[in-house]
């Protein structure tokens, strides 16, 4: 088995571990519903201008608070157009893959920079730092891809641009990522700034000549100027800025000690590997590695690690300046940058342990530092995740459940009273109403807040299926027509049921047919809410061709619903169709809602999230098997 194959296989396992861990977190705690900033940056600045042909390019580059999140807007617009719906779950599923790609890039770089004995420990560190939901706001938020674009593009810039010959392919890659990172967040200009510092340091070390330096310096200065001149100050965030030197300094300290709180000493332990690497690299004479000069990622391991850590420190300083009022601890959405800083320190630690130490004392000191660093990081993550898993994520889920209910009822009734609650997905109820008044936005709403299609029965007897509408009913005594006494009626859409009331229900039998239905898109799925005995013999819910009456699909939930509601999914028919409900068993009943459309990518994201835990366990098993194979191959001799 070749080393290249092993590297690719481990990279695939790392990618899968991180992605499925994030998907599993979203499945348990997240929501497809657009939330807060999305109604401004995506609805107001992307979807409405796009569908309304209203100066889309101007809106694309408009700032969102202090940031020009062009890449996030383009990413989510593309997903919305391909899917036909605006789905935050789909966005978050895609964001998870972006973050996992960054972890893979870090690990592949470590394979070249570190001794082989440190590859496996660094793999484990990356899987933990990137897979666990420390930065849970970014895991659940479809809009938060700007955090991943910022870190990922900055990493690509710093490991290519200052270490590649001007005009070479790696240099052009670094130039492209340095340009794109300006469209991630307001602090995107820090990546080209650090690249300029690194290339000037290499020139000062006489490692490169002026002819090698000037293209990178010129590009970096130009991008810094563009980023600086396009910066934005917003009045409503002025109160968040650091008000004193104390605020600024301790905001940075509180970030450096992540994942701990109230343990300032942890900052020194967790960032000591990077500090020692910088101490070894910055005053050192340039080292020559003729055998590896052709590969720009091999030779500059130490300088690249120092550059990455320096970039993180600049990010922390920028955050402390803009959000440092009161010297509070970092919010969850900033923790992906902090976990990247921890990964850089793990890289620095592995690099220190890889390099030959001139004295036995140094080797022992580095080993002791490694043990202290792992214990400190592990203890901090345990402390942090206890609060995240026990308090913050459950609270987020409670909020999403309430907000989804309010949105479902408003979209079904247009009654603003359903938005007169604190837990709605926007600071202002009127702001939501104004945005949803745009005719292009409502058709983009995702499941489960999307209103099901209204059904009309064909002329003729529909008994025993009776329509029930509890949308504006008294919630204490809602109507239950066609439902068992134990089945709560849906409060956002009409339903049709064959239960006759009373403890046992009716013994009547019959068939109900809808008027023909045509769909604007036929590549998605239909979602029916079902209750009762649907799925058992004698009762059925089917889709038939409106012209030929041929059976197109049978609607069955994955489990018999009983006295609860369970969603059933069927592929959307490509032809006009009718819904046919039959009850031929006097001892059984069932109820159903109208169908709600679900985009094809929304259905994929739902399936991926639903089975994420199983996929995570499978990925872990595959990683263990692969590690065993690699260990056996290693015992036979180096490849």
The single-letter DSSP state of residue 560 is: -
Q: For residue 576, is it within any domain?
A: yes
For 573, the domain range is: 466-471+478-594
Task: Please state the rounded mean pLDDT for residues 269-298.
Answer: 69
Query: pLDDT tens digits, residue range 18-55?
Result: 999 999 999 999 999 999 999 999 999 999 999 987 78
**212 or 296: which leads in pLDDT:** 212
| pLDDT per position as a tens digit, 302-333 | 999 999 999 999 999 999 999 999 989 999 99
pLDDT computed for residue 286 by the predictor: 56
Q: Is residue 526 part of a domain?
A: yes
Using one digit for the tens of pLDDT, what is the confidence trace for 499-555? 987 666 665 688 999 999 999 988 999 999 999 999 999 999 999 999 999 999 999
Supply the pLDDT for residue 630: 87
- Predicted pLDDT of residue 357: 60
Question: Which pLDDT score is estimated for 417?
Answer: 94
Please give the Cα distance from 416 to 409 (Å, whole number).
Answer: 9
For 62-93, give one letter per residue: b (16+ CB within 10 A) or e. Answer: bbbbebbbbbbbebbbebbeebbbbbbbbbbb
Query: What average pLDDT does range 618-635 have in this prediction?
Result: 90
Judge whether 117 lies within some domain.
no
C-alpha to C-alpha distance for 218 and 214, rounded to whole angstroms: 6
Q: For residue 488, is it within any domain?
A: yes
Residue 539 lies in a domain: yes
Query: What is the reported pLDDT for 506?
Result: 63
pLDDT at 359: 64
Cα separation values, 233 from 68, 193, 325, Å: 12, 21, 16
Count of other CB atoms within 10 angstroms of residue 357: 14
pLDDT at 595 over 90: yes
* pLDDT at residue 363, rounded to an integer: 76
Give, rounded to a whole angstrom, the gap between the first and last alpha carbons of the chain. 8
pLDDT at 565 over 60: yes
Summarised one tens digit per residue, pLDDT across range 246-258 is: 999 999 999 999 9
- Is the torsion defined by CA of 495, 496, 500, 503 positive or negative? negative
Tell me, yes or no, whether 325 lies in a domain: no
Tens digit of each residue's pLDDT (9 = 90 or more) over 176-232: 999 999 999 999 999 999 999 999 999 998 888 998 899 999 999 999 999 999 988
The pTM score is 0.94
Q: What is the mean pLDDT of residues 594-598?
A: 96
CA distances 151 to 60, 103, 173, Å, are: 21, 11, 16
The mean pLDDT of 67-81, rounded to a whole number, is: 96
Look at residue 372 in the predicted model and tell me its pLDDT: 96
Q: What is the pLDDT of residue 298?
A: 36
Question: How many domains does the chain contain in total?
Answer: 1
Q: Contact 47/445 with Cβ under 8 angstroms?
A: no
**What was the pLDDT predicted at 295?**
37
Task: Give CA–CA dist 100/95, Å, rounded.
Answer: 9
Residue 440 lies in a domain: no
Quote the mean pLDDT of the chain.
92
Is it the case that residue 290 has pLDDT exceeding 50?
A: no
CATH number at residue 572: 2.60.120
Q: Rounded CA gap, 446 and 576, in Å?
A: 22
Tell which residue, 134, 17, 141, has the closest CA to residue 613. Answer: 17
d(CA 147, CA 130): 13
Note the pLDDT of residue 472.
87
Residues 153-170 have pLDDT tens digits of 999 999 999 999 999 999
| 486 occurs within a structural domain | yes
């Amino acid at each position: 088995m070749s080393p290249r194959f092993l590297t690719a296989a481990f990279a695939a396992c790392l990618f899968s571990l991180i992605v499925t861990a994030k998907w599993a977190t979203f499945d348990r705690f997240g929501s497809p519903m657009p939330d807060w900033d999305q109604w401004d940056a995506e609805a107001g600045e992307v979807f409405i201008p796009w569908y309304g042909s209203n100066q889309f390019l101007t809106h694309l580059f408009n700032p969102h608070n202090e940031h020009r999140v062009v890449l996030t807007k383009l990413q989510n617009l593309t997903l919305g157009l391909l899917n036909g719906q605006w789905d935050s779950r789909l966005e978050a599923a895609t964001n998870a893959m972006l973050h996992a790609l960054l972890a893979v890039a870090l690990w592949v770089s470590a394979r070249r920079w570190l001794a082989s004995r440190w590859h496996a420990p660094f793999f484990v560190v990356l899987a933990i730092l990137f897979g666990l939901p420390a930065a849970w706001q970014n895991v659940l938020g479809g809009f938060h891809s700007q955090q991943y674009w910022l870190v990922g593009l900055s990493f690509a810039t710093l490991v290519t641009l200052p270490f590649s010959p001007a005009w070479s392919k790696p240099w052009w890659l670094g130039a492209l990522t340095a340009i794109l990172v300006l469209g991630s967040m307001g602090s995107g200009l820090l990546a080209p700034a650090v690249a300029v510092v690194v290339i000037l340091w290499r020139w000062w070390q006489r490692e490169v000549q002026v002819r090698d330096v000037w293209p990178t310096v010129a590009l970096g200065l130009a991008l810094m100027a563009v980023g600086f001149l396009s910066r934005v100050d917003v009045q409503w965030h002025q109160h968040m800025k650091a008000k004193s030197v104390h605020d600024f300094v301790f905001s940075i300290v509180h970030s450096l000690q992540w994942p701990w709180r109230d343990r300032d000493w942890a900052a020194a332990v967790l960032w000591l590997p990077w500090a020692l690497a910088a101490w070894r690299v910055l005053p050192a004479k340039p080292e020559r590695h003729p055998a590896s000069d052709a590969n720009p990622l091999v030779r500059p391991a130490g300088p690249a690690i120092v550059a990455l850590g320096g970039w993180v420190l600049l990010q922390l300083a920028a955050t402390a300046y803009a959000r440092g009022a009161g010297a509070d601890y970092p919010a969850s959405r900033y923790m992906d940058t902090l976990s990247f800083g921890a990964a850089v320190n793990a890289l620095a630690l592995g690099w220190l342990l890889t390099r030959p130490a001139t004295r036995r004392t140094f080797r022992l000191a580095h080993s002791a530092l490694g043990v202290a660093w792992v214990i400190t990081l592990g203890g901090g993550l345990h402390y942090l995740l206890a609060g995240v898993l026990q308090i913050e994520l459950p609270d987020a889920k409670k909020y999403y459940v309430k907000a989804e209910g309010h949105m479902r009822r408003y979209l079904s009734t247009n009654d603003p009273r359903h938005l007169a609650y604190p837990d709605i997905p926007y600071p202002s109820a009127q702001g939501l109403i104004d945005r949803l008044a745009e005719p292009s936005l409502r058709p983009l709403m995702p499941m489960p807040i999307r209103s099901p299609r209204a059904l009309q029965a064909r002329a003729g007897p529909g008994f025993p299926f009776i329509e029930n509408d509890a949308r504006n009913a008294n919630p204490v005594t809602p109507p239950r027509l066609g439902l068992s006494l134990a089945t709560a009626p849906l409060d956002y859409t009409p339903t049709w049921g064959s239960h006759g009331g009373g403890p046992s229900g009716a013994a009547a039998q019959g068939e109900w047919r809808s008027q023909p239905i045509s769909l604007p898109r036929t590549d998605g799925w239909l979602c029916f809410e079902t209750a009762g005995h649907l799925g058992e013999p004698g009762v059925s819910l089917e889709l038939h061709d409106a012209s030929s009456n041929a059976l197109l699909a049978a609607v069955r939930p994955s489990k018999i619903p009983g006295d609860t509601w369970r969603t059933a999914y069927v592929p959307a028919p490509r032809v006009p169709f009718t819904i046919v409900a039959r009850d031929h068993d006097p001892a059984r009943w069932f109820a159903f809602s109208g169908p709600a459309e679900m985009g094809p990518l929304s259905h994929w994201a739902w399936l991926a999230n639903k089975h994420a835990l199983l996929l995570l366990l499978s990925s872990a098993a595959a990683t263990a098997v692969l590690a065993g194979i690699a260990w056996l191959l290693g015992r036979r001799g180096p490849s």
